[in-house]
Every structure is written in C-alpha cells, then in structure tokens.
Structure 1
C-alpha cells in the first residue's frame, strides 16, 4: 500500500490510477459531454422582460424607506447607546401603525417577532411594557401580534459556527430562525444584537456573505422584512460612525442590506443647537440614514430617551416601580429656544450694569476682571441646574454672541483705564454695551432690568447670523461678526 507524507492532488491521483491500468475513457467522455438542452432547470423565456413589463408589483414597504419585505436592513450603533430602546419603539410603531412615536412612516399594522440575544424574556417584557405605558398602548393592541424571544430561550438559534480554518454558516440555526418566523406569521423580524447570534464572529467575509445571503432567502421565502441591530466598529467610534461601513466586522453585512441607519448620541454642542442644554446630551440620539438602495435617504430623526416608571412597586423593599428607558421622537428646536425672554432681559441688564467694580465687560469673554462669563453663568444657573459651571459659561458665550447678532448688544472699541491707575489711557479693547434707548418691558422682566423694544430686535446692519437648517451656527469671533460702534463713529454722530 502506498503512503504519502504530503497531500496529493486529484490530477496526480488520476495519473496514478491510469498507471495502474484504470480505463478513464468513459469517465472523461461523461465529464466533457455537453448538458442536453432539455435537462437545463430553467427556460430562457422566464428571463424575457416583456413578460413582466406591464405587471410590476409594488415594493412592499412596511416602514419606508427603512424596512421593505423580502429584504433585511440594519440599525448600527455603539454599545449602551439606546439602540434596543429604539428597536422596541420601532416594533410598537409597526404593531400599531402609529407614525408619531418616532416620526417614521408606517404603511400598515404588522405582526412583529422581537428576538434578543442579550436580555431574557422577562427583561424584554419589562421594556416593552414601559414603552406601551408611555405611549398609551394597551394589551389588546399587542396581544397575538408581538412575539418575544429572550436570550438563550431557543436552543441552537445561531447563524454561524466555528470550524477549522474559519467560520461557516450554521444552516441548522438559520433553519430554526425561518421556522420561528413561519410559526409566528411575522411581517417584521428584529434581531438584537446580531453579534449575539454569531459565535463564529463577525469578521470572516465568506461566512458573513453566506449568512447574509441565507437571511435574505428567509426574508423572501417568508415575505417578511428583517432589522438586524448591530454594533459599530472600534475604528468607527474613534473616527465617526455616520457611514454604513461603520458596522462591526465584515463589510458583507452592510453590503447585503438594502438600508442602513446609524444611531448615535448627540454631543453637548449638538444638543444646544437643537434647543437642549448640554447636560441633556446623554439622553439625546439621532438616526442617520447612511445607506438607501431603494429610495432617497430619510432625513435625520432626533430621539430622546425618557425614564418611565412601571406600576410594579413592591413595598417595603421596592417602594417605587422599575425605571425603564423609552425612546420617543424629539422635535428639534433651535439654540434660541434655550433662552426665554426674561433670561435675555436679565443678561442685557447685567451687561449694562457692568462688573461689580463698575467697569464694562470685554467682548472677548476672556478670563480676567472684565470677563462676562461667570456673571452671566450665575444668571443661567437657576435655569440650567444640571449643567456644570464650564457648560453654563459656554452657554453664556453663545447667548452673548446671539444678542450681538440680533443687535440687542453692541461692541464698542475704546481705551480702558490703566490697571492700578497712572497717567494716560490704557490699551484699546472691545467692550460690550447695551443700546442707549433700551426700554423696560412691562411683564416678565425682572425688576430694574432694561430690555429692548420690538423695534430694536432687528440686527443693526439688517442681517442676521448665519443659519443652517434653522439652527444658528457658532461664530468664529464676536468682534468680527457683531454690531460694532467705534469711537470714531460716535464722534461723527
């Protein structure tokens, strides 16, 4: 018997067989013979476009432009960013057909299968119950239409597996998923998060493509839409996660998806731009439609996480019900909406009053005895108690810049007295000044404060600050953009 220390190719094996007397002629004839035309599994007529030209079915959108039957989409976000809360609210919107919950269009009420690989069914029910409580949804609206599968509740529900040489699609687990979908009659399936069902990892491109292709086959066979909730990669967290390729692992996951939406938290500056204090940024999210194959991308959608208390108190150890985070739509405002008219009036009055030493505030807002930020931050403190002193001073700067752009404060260039006295004037500096013809408002203004009449609300030069999408953009420097009155101009007047 021949033994080989190394692997042998099929060609070498055939050559050895021939050398041993094997007649390969009949085998070669069968291998090279053409396939008979009548054994080809399809007919060419089915590819003729004329057969379907006047019979094109409408795309079966369920939540346009994000979810469509026979395809899967992806919701990509960092860990602990609220993606599960958003997925649950999306599920309830699809169940009820309501469009107000997230501002997303829902074509018709759907049956939903919610599968979670991290939370058990008990925790999932807790979160769904809190969202229903917040949106006023009763049990009759969801009973029989929402099925919940918690972590490890169905054995063998995995999409890939580890094998020598890499990962491979787990056909048994994928078949089990299809069976669940068919048994529940789900129109929409939400898998959260995808990585929990991939013990073979997310990086192997070949297995990712195989799993993604099988998931699409399941969507087609069951005529359902699927939403895969997935994590962003570490690189995306460093460099920005607004791109569809920000998803963790192989690009095949997003390549096969028809739609990808990215979810992330707002920065403190972004929160302020939509009319929220910096301290609120931890609860503010934005949905960005980064990939849209079948239609135009959806506009940015803002979401707020609110705390909802369940009616499940259990005294004496638990005198209050569980507190659960629920995702709900946020209507963005503008930076102007952060500050009420009385705040504006109090700030203008403080600028007119000057520092405790009676000196004017410098327009630069730099540190020093004539820095307006600490004094204006003190006015803002009762209105923004959750924000830090540094955040309130940042708000003070933005508020002063807006009042300058609106012409309700002015910048005057003058020579300041020397620090500590002495002959001659000091250095030339830009100082803040309230216009001379201020009027005291009848109501709402604190006692003794001065305010601008409606006729003075227009900018001095007839121009407002730059805007983008209704939100004021921060200025590079107050001295270059605000209304300015120089000593020379005053002498001419």
Structure 2
C-alpha cells in the first residue's frame, strides 16, 4: 500500500479545522513558531517546500463554548412572517428539494419556475410573492442545452430578453463546477471551505434570491449511501441558505421503484437529504390507466407533483398536474434542417366530468337509461355509457376525452346515489351488474 505523505496528512487535517505546523520527525519540535500554526493550504505547502522531511504537528480547533439562552418574550405581531418566495415550497433561509426519476420533467419544470420568479409572472398558475433574482446551475448539461430550454420557454410564454436581463443567472457544471464536499477514503467527507466561501460571496454580490442546484448529485463527491456524509452536504446547503437569506432548491434523482409511484422517501440518500430540507416535492409520470381516466391522447406528456413534506405549510389538496408541450426553436440548418423541438412545462387541470353538465342533462340521461337495460362494464356492448353519451352529444367511438367524461359522470352519479348498481341475470342466466336510475320515494 502506498504511504501517505506528511504534506497530504497536513492538508487533510487543515481541511478539518486543525491548525498545522511542520515539526522535526525525530524530536517533534516545531520548526516554526507555534503561534503561526495555520489552516491555510498555501502556507502549509510552502512550509513543506522549506522542510520536506518534516512531520505535521496539529492543534485541534477550540470547541465552541455552549450556553443556554434565556427566552425573551416577543409580541407575536413583531415576529417577521416566513418569507415564502414561490408557493409554499421555496422559502428564504431554507433548502427545499424536488425528487423525481430521470426524464420525468423536473429540470424543465425548475426552469419554468425560475423564469416565473425572475419575471414575476404567474406562468404555471403560481404567482411569485415578488420578483426574484434566480441563479440556475445545471451540473450535467452544456450551457447551450439550457439555453435551448430557456429559449423554448420564452417563445411559448412570450417572455422578452428585457424581462430576464439582470434577473436570471445561468451556469453549467461543465464550465464552472460547484462541488461543496468531497470524500476521502481515509479521512471521510469534508466541506470545500474556499469553494463555499466563493459561492456565498457570489450569491451576496449578485443579490441572488433563489439558487437552484440541478442535479444535487453534481454538487458533491461523497458516497450517497453514507448517511453522515450526505447529512454534512445537505446541512451545509441549509447553512448557506441561512447565511445568504436565499431560498435554495436541490433537484435530486429517485432510486428505481419497479414501476411503483415514487415518494420523497425514494430519493437516493433520501434519509439525510429529506431530513435537512423544509419542503420536498416528488414528481411522477402519468400512468397509462390514469391517461385513460383523463381521456388524454398521449399520457406520456403529463406528470404530477405532490409536496411530500410541507413542514411549514398545510398539505395541498390532491395533486398538481402539468403537461409538456413541444416548442420549435425554428433554428434549422443545412446539417439539421428540422431544427430543435424542446419540451416546455405547462399547467394542466385534471378534467372535471361535471364541467358543462346541468341538472337537466342528468334528467335527460336518466330518461334514456330508463328506456333500456344497461351494464356497468364499459367493455359491454350494452354499457350504460352509450345512452348517456347519446343525449349529451358525446362521441364514444374515437374520442378518448368524451369516453373519460362519460365514465367519470357514471362514477359521480353512482357515488352521489343518483344511479344504483344492481346484480341481475342476463339473457344467458349469467349474473351481471346493471345500472339503474335510483327511484326517489
């Protein structure tokens, strides 16, 4: 096994807060004044240039003196309210997280939200509390790929360059890494102090309100299964948010769930990260079955988002749905004449079967149902949906949305007691479920 050099040992000790100085390997006597012991890497390297055979002497950092702080009563009206900047998810002085599997739409969603905050516009139905300076850092994609996504968003929502200038900041990890922690197999995980200081200075110098790190895995080099290492990274982001008065969002991948719907607990290394953030959202693609219920043409274009950890806000009712639409950049060339088409996230509302339906419509449907004998099974030729669709002017042959609407109406009317499901024998003496109009006594 290769021996660890004294300089390497000294630098690792300094990175963990120990003041270091060179010492004589035989006597242990310091070769510089003890008062000059330092944690500065350049100073330490220079010492070992001057004393290459020396061994490191280390002075441990002084422990912080603890004290109990007496509580001082404050008038509740004098306590500043929480500073939510976007919905109930992003809040100043806290880190938040988005969890999702690959290709779900998390980066596309984060960019639309970033532009909404930078412009102060309600692009997805959420009005920013105030216009924010947003810094979006993508650790994986080249800058041009992010520029394509931003261009598509601006085209779709009619955002101009003047609205973004000075408010949106974009960087790529391929050009500028933000790695706040690394892990050494011998000394464990440690925070990259100089990088964190530079990051904090940049946030303050540019008056950044919101920082988005996409993806979280690109901002560290620690083992995701090491809970203590992940906790170190996650808590450092929270500390940065507190120090800079910013809202920080960490976008993280989920582990494979075998086709099951992901939860915030499915995030890789989620125990540590989930515990460190104040709000955690999880994204899931629409399933084929849900697509049939909603009556959409292509269920792969849709996804939903839930807040799995709304610590500082009441839990939202239901799920928020989004659709990814394709936007052409019209940037064709001789090499690629078709140009680029980029997915842009838009808000989408789950269709309400009762939209446009009146009491008179139900009475007409009820009269049509009474005129025959109709099955509950939508696969049956005598499905109860047929007489309902006929009187409402809906197409069950080729229109998925109309079929989903009829199925939804049947479910609502059965739940409300307007329709009743009964078991009867069919013409072949086989038991079947039929739907009848409920008799009012």
Q: TM-score, normalised on structure 2? A: 0.69
CA distance in 2, matches of 1:187, 1:107: 12
The 5-angstrom pairing of residues 145-184 of structure 1 reads: 145-155=167-177, 157-165=178-186, 167-171=188-192, 172-184=194-206
- In 2, the alpha carbon distance for the partners of 1:71 and 1:264 equals 24
Whole-Å Cα distance in 2 between the matches of residues 40 and 398 of structure 1?
Answer: 64
2:86 pairs with 1:63: yes
Q: Which residue of 2 aligns with 1:440?
A: none
CA offsets, 1:451-489, max 9 Å, x none? xxxxxxxx53359xxxxxxxxxxxxxxxxxxxxxxxxxx
Aligned match of 2:269:
249
Q: Are the equivalent residues in 2 in contact too, given 1:103–1:301 (CA < 8 A)?
A: no
Q: Secondary structure in 2 aligned to 1:102?
A: coil
Classify the secondary structure of the residue corresponding to 1:233: coil
- Which of 89, 99, 112 is equivalent to 1:89? 112
Match for residue 193 of structure 1? 215
Q: Is the 8 A contact 1:167 1:201 kept in 2?
A: no
Distance 1:382 1:62 in 2: 44
Question: Distance in 1 between the 2:98 and 2:422 partners?
Answer: 52
SS of the aligned residue for 2:344 comes to strand
**Residues 272, 402 of structure 1: alpha-carbon distance in 2 compared, 3 angstrom cutoff:** farther
Question: Contact between 1:269 and 1:278, CA under 8 Å: does it hold in 2?
Answer: no
Who is 2:307 aligned against? 289
1:411–1:431 Cα contact (<8 Å) kept: yes
2:326 corresponds in structure 1 to 307
SS at match of 2:309: strand
Q: Distance in 1 between the 2:382 and 2:171 partners? A: 59
Is the contact between residue 85 and residue 128 of structure 2 (CA under 8 Å) also seen in structure 1?
yes
Shift of 1:248: 1.0
CA contact (8 A) 1:362 1:429 kept: no
Q: 102, 127, 132: which is aligned to 2:149? A: 127
Q: 1:259 aligns with which of 274, 279, 283?
A: 279
Matched, 1:328 2:349: no
User: 1:143-202, CA deviations, whole angstroms, 9 ceiling, x for partnerless residues?
Assistant: 1111101131114x2133231158513414434433432343211000001012233232
- Which residue number corresponds to residue 427 of structure 1? 429
For these two proteins, the number of residue pairs brought into alignment is 371
The answer on 1:461 being equivalent to 2:439 is yes
- Equivalent pair of 1:160/1:167 in contact (CA under 8 Å): no
**2 CA distance for matches of 1:298 and 1:405?**
24
Q: Cα offset for 1:225?
A: 0.9
Structure 1 residues 323 and 339: alpha-carbon distance in aligned structure 2, compared to 1, 3 A threshold: farther
- Alignment partner, residue 107 of structure 1: 129
8 A contact 1:308–1:326 mirrored in 2 = yes
Superimposed CA distance per residue, residues 39-91 of structure 1 (whole angstroms, 9 cap, x where no aligned partner): 997796x9333275575333222124211111110011111100001101110
Deviates more, 1:76-85 or 1:167-176: 167-176
Q: 2:98 maps to what in 1?
A: 75
| 3-state SS of paired residue (1:93) | helix
Change (3 A) 1:167 1:302: farther
Residue 297 to residue 379, structure 1, CA distance change in 2 (3 Å): closer
Match for residue 280 of structure 1 among 280, 294, 298: 298
**Over residues 218-275 of structure 1, what are the superposed CA-to-partner deviations in whole Å (9 max), with x where a residue is unaligned?**
112221110000111235x655423x322211511111101111111222343455xx
* 1:170–1:313 CA distance, 2 compared to 1 (3 A): same
Task: Quickly say closer, same or farther: Cα 1:322–1:219, change in 2 above 3 A.
Answer: same
| Selected match of 1:383 from 390, 399, 409 | 399
Separation in structure 1 between the aligned mates of residue 433 and residue 163 of structure 2, nearest angstrom: 62
Note the residue ranges of structure 2 that are not aligned, 5 or more in a row: 1-61
1:8 corresponding residue in structure 2: none
Counting only pairs closer than 5 Å after superposition, residues 131-146 of structure 1 correspond to structure 2 as 131-146=153-168
Distance 1:65 1:411 in 2: 42
| Residues 331-342 of structure 1 mapped to structure 2, 5 A cutoff | 331-335=349-353
Aligned to 1:207: 229
1:421-474 alpha-carbon deviations (Å, 9 max, x no partner) = xxxxx526658799xxxxxxxxxxxxxxxxxxxxxxxx53359xxxxxxxxxxx
For the structure 1 residues 41 and 148, does the alpha-carbon distance in structure 2 shift closer, same or farther, using more than 3 Å as the test? same
Secondary structure, aligned partner of 1:114: strand
Contact 1:113 1:184 in 2 (8 A): no
Shift of 1:332: 2.7
